[in-house]
Amino acid sequence: MGYLATQRPYNVAFFAILMRVIYALIFTLLPGALFAQPSGVPNPPPIAAKAFVLTDFNSAQMLVSQNPNQRIEPASLTKLMTAYLTFSALKQKTLKPDQVVPVSTRAWKSEGSRMFIEPTKPVVVEDLIKGMIVQSGNDACVALAEAIAGTEEVFAQMMNREAQRLGMKNTNFMNSTGLPHPQHYTTAYDLSLLANAIIRDFPEYYPYYSLKEYRYNNITQSNRNRLLWVDPTVDGMKTGYTDNAGYCLITSARRGPRRLVSVVLGTNSESLRATESQKLVNYGFQFYDTVRLYEKGQAVSTVRVWKGSANTVKAGFPRDLFLSVPKGVSDKLKASVETQQPLLAPIAAGQQVGVLRVELDGKPYGEFPVVALEEAPLAGIFGRGWDSLRLLFK
């Protein structure tokens, strides 16, 4: 169901100024700055970690955080980007699950956690994926990187290019494994973007993260994510540890239609990263709701168009629009649409034509771009001329 949106036009100059201000806020303030912090929500429990972020998958809102943009060493959480590029290669069919991958000496001799691949034993891509995700095998990561990019160095360049595309502005990768390097870093917020992107972009491969154990080369290793055994609603994602990074865990849990993703970095023990993550996820489910404001393609407004073959164009959102709010207050949400006027044809489908402003209990709560749901081609010469005359007198 959608929420009633009132419509207010504004002129081109004001629209341009407004957009510049919004873009400035997005790129200079903390992520999520266009969402107001709701009042009346209890503070989260104390989390014994250097940094953490809790996000709602559907709304993409950051519900609570501590040091979200502090640079940290990602350790094996790096493997999420290695997996992202691997899943992308599978989707683009440049890599196949049953494809045999040669094991280089470099991959075989990788330091740290391993799945124990060998140069003389054939291994297929799907085995490497399970070894990377379940066993956190550094050897599996290097083998996949070489299969996709030729060398791990070129693969690291691909990782950084993908990170920038995903909006991970405070991240730099030097390898596919997460082994320490002075220029290998990220943030809790950037890792949250990456984790959510895997779930969103590759739902067909995400179930790998729920595997509790994997056996390869006659060696069975368990997934180090303890919450897979403790909480049946947890279905991923990844652990990490180095001396500098501490014990880290990214958790994804689904309860009913809602999914929350937590990033907890720099705890003091393997058990603590699990308990602190559980506390954070429980807090989000207990004190927040996720509300679908509008469905994909639902018209929230009809906007006047000048010099077009049609006089109006329907406006809405290219995907379902969700909003996270404190429990029990969704009936206090109100929305209004401010549209660019005069809006001149031609208008392309997907072109931004306004802004949806959402208030919660009378206070500003969020802003979202509204786009044209259909195109509006130019009118003929007489139609354009008539509208030009009418605009002179507006």
Q: Cite the active site residues.
A: 76, 79, 136
Sign of CA dihedral 19, 23, 29, 32: positive
Maximum alpha-carbon separation in the chain: 82
Range list of H helices, 150-258: 152-165, 188-201, 227-230
- The Cβ-side half-sphere exposure at 346, using a 13 Å CA radius, reads 6
**Per the structure block, which two tokens stand in for 192?**
């949250």
**Of 93, 312, 73, 314, which Cα lies nearest the Cα of 173?**
73
**Of 49, 44, 47, which Cα lies nearest the Cα of 265?**
49
Cis omega before residue 342 (within 30°)? yes
Q: What is the DSSP letter of 345?
A: S
Interatomic CA distance for residues 180 and 91, integer angstroms: 30
Distance separating the N- and C-terminal Cα atoms of the chain: 36
DSSP 3-state assignment of 391? helix
**Per the structure block, which two tokens stand in for 367?**
């802003």
Do 111 and 53 touch, CB atoms closer than 8 A? Answer: no
Residue with tokens 């929420």: 3
Interatomic CA distance for residues 294 and 60, integer angstroms: 15
Residue with tokens 């045999």: 100
Do 188 and 280 touch, CB atoms closer than 8 A? Answer: no
